[in-house]
Structure 1
Amino acid sequence: MVRYTDIRASNTLINDSTAPRIAVFVGGTAGIGQLTIKALVATGASVRIYLIGRKSSNDRAHVFMKELQSTNPNAEVIWIEGEVSLLTDAKRVCEVIKSREKHVDLLFLTTGYAPFGPREETAEGIEITLSLGYFSRMMFVLQLLPLLRQAEAARVVSVLGGGLMERPTSIDLDDLALEKPGRFGPIKSQMLSATMNTATLDKLAADSPGVTFIHSYPGWVDTGNVRRGFEPNSWKAWVAWLFLEPLIYLFSFSDKESGQRHLFLSTSAYYGGRGVPWMGKAGVNTSGKPMNGLFLANYRNDCTLNAGVLSVLREKSTEMIWKHTQEVLQPYL
């Protein structure tokens, strides 16, 4: 068990030699991404952060960047506008980063929301929550993987549902786009995105031993994203504001604790042995070993295996998920 006191103690050891020097935050203009950036910048370390968000977040992002600059003059924050639910735009953003950097130390992914309305596709024909929760994330991973491999201790953190996997027997491998009648819904979309994140990151970790991969389940955090799943000003959005958001707030981690926990995920040698030194028992990867690979982190930052489901996932579904992923992403890679 990772105690919160140990997490905070670990984070106090972050400095210029242990901080991720080049970090890319996709979805960092609000919620967990923003909280983690604040925690990272507050360490005082010299970091360069690429903050990526939608055009509608532009004003809010620049206010946030001024706040970060006043907190830590050694931090450089670069804003890149991008509608990353579109794979063409995700690729464009990656090309900008690749033109400027020779390596990336941290790729932090938090885009997505739970859809409470009907199935909706992007202009590219991909269901929007699957694009944000999975396909766009994998686009960033695959595009930036060459730069991650050039770093001394690179890490990819995908915040969604680490350890929460749909049973392979319930996955319709012929309908990974959730197009069949009755197949789409908020739980189904989120669980499928989480399962595909785990399956693909598990595969990529095996092919990239020099990169640490973490799929995190953050628990309850009041990010405000629950309201995004409803049509603005609808009665459902009003109910979410009146009842669901106060309930989430009641059981959520505080903003500060969530930021500290995700900073720990982004920096600690507890995951894979590289990063801020960890003196206690190390976490184990999806192979059950205290070495680099993919780590499934629960809301307490502990590593979970879910070995039974994961072994069947590898055997029955991973290759089909990977094949489908390649088919969707190939036109944009």
Structure 2
Amino acid sequence: MTAIVVGGTNGIGYGMACRVAAEVKSSTVIISGRTKPKNIPHANMEFRPLDATSMRQIKQYTDTFKAAQEQKLDLLIMTQGIMTTAGRTETPEGIDRRMALHYYGKQLLIRELLPVLKEDAKVIIVFDSINGNPTKLDWDDLDLKKHFSLARAANHCMVMNDAMVQYWVAEQKKQGTAKRHFIHAWPGLVNTSLARELPWYLRPLMNGLGSVVGVSPDTCAERLLNGVTQQVTTGDQEGRFWSYINHKGQPVAKKAVLPEEQLNKVAEHTWRLVDRASESTPA
């Protein structure tokens, strides 16, 4: 078994990577992020650096993985994220840093690694599978270049991740017999270091909430991975290959099934933006 966990150098991703590595001793678990963790507790884990805000770096990362003719992937987990109250903060590629992490980079990773995903691979996006509102999408400004706000950015990333989970399954159905499962998960409140980028006066509040109400990254990892296993089993029986789960690993009820026209519009926008960014000259 081979797994890539982007965002796996700390927090929820690290918890999920460690759990996979511990449960499947024969696996290879690649954890990627900007900084190598001080402790890599299992011999079957390895670190590969990646700045997941950069579409160019993601493209180089995936090209390198594919060129090495490594084993096909059983599992792709993406937990990279940021908690900040800053306004629109563009990367050198012209994408809001928050949206690059929460949405665009995740979808580029899926697209570029799709050729090396096993036919029954599992793809897990950890962000927010519960609170997205499709009726509040600004279809004329999906990357919020003109009308950015914190609330809009959060909602756009939620809904577009929801949409792309359905898009990938629709595409796979058109193209053959693959039975890859695509899951969008909401982790809930977890006691992690995400609050470090908040203003100093908000950090104690968030850290306090995390320690009192939140669960540990390991508990979150256990719940999400157990939930994924259950949804894959149920999905195989029902012929359904996309799922949304909550912080306890339970299915999210009454998720909207978006029309094909909207799925394609989100995908076309995404590829146009990430391709332009990944081909840009570094600033």
TM-score surpassing 0.5?
A: yes
- 2:259 counterpart residue number: 314
Q: Verify the 8 A CA contact 1:134 1:197 in the aligned structure 2.
A: yes
Whole-angstrom CA distance in 2 between matches of 1:53 and 1:117:
22
**Cα deviation, residue 316, structure 1:** 6.7
Equivalent residue for 2:175?
Answer: none
Whole-Å Cα distance in 2 between the matches of residues 164 and 290 of structure 1? 25
Map of 2:19 onto structure 1 = 39
- The answer as to 2:118 corresponding to 1:143 is no
Unaligned runs of 5+ in 1: 1-20, 70-74, 231-236, 274-281
2:53 to 69, 74, 85: 85
Q: Give the drift of 1:249.
A: 2.0
Is 1:123 equivalent to 2:92 in the alignment?
yes
Q: Among 193, 196, 200, which residue is 2:160 paired with?
A: 196
Aligned to 1:162: 129
Contact 2:127 2:184 in 1 (8 A): yes
Alignment gaps of 5+ in structure 2: 173-177
Count of aligned pairs between the two proteins: 272
Partner of 1:96: helix, strand, or coil? helix
1:242 alignment partner in structure 2: 204
1:45 aligned partner, one-letter code: K
Following superposition, the deviation at residue 81 of structure 1 comes to 1.2
AA aligned to 1:303 is P
For residues 167 and 119 of structure 2, the distance between their equivalents in structure 1, rounded to whole angstroms, comes to 21
CA distance, structure 2, for counterparts of residue 154 and residue 114 of structure 1: 29
Counterpart contact for 1:163–1:306, Cα < 8 Å: no
Matched, 1:220 2:196: no
Aligned-residue offset at 1:299? 1.2
Aligned partner of residue 120 in structure 1, secondary structure: coil
How far does residue 78 in structure 1 lie from its aligned partner after superposition?
2.6
Please list the CA deviations of residues 301-331 of structure 1 after superposition, one character each: whole Å capped at 9, or x if unmatched: 1112434xx23x4367323212211211234
Once the 2 structures are TM-superposed, how far is the Cα of residue 28 of structure 1 from its aligned partner? 0.4
Q: Does 1:299 align with 2:247?
A: yes
State the TM-score, normalizing by the size of structure 1: 0.76
Tell me whether 1:95 sits opposite 2:59 in the alignment: no
> Larger C-alpha radius of gyration, 1 or 2?
1
1:105 aligns with 2:74: yes
Q: Distance in 2 between matches of 1:130 and 1:239?
A: 24
In structure 1, what is the Cα distance between the partners aligned to 2:170 and 2:261?
A: 17
1:264 matched to 2:226? The reply is yes
Q: In structure 1, what is the Cα distance between the partners aligned to 2:194 and 2:217? A: 14
1:41-56 aligned at under 5 Å gives the runs 41-43=21-23, 45-54=25-34
Aligned to 1:23, the other structure's residue is in SS state strand
CA RMSD of aligned residues (A): 2.1
1:265 Cα deviation from its structure 2 partner: 4.3
Paired-residue identity, %: 24
Deviation of 1:169 (Å): 2.5
Q: 2:213 aligns with which of 251, 258, 262?
A: 251
Aligned-pair CA distance for 1:35: 0.6
Contact conserved, 2:20 with 2:29, CA < 8 A, in 1? no
Residue in structure 2 matched with residue 178 of structure 1 by the alignment: 144
Structure 1 Cα separation of the partners of residues 190 and 146 of structure 2:
32
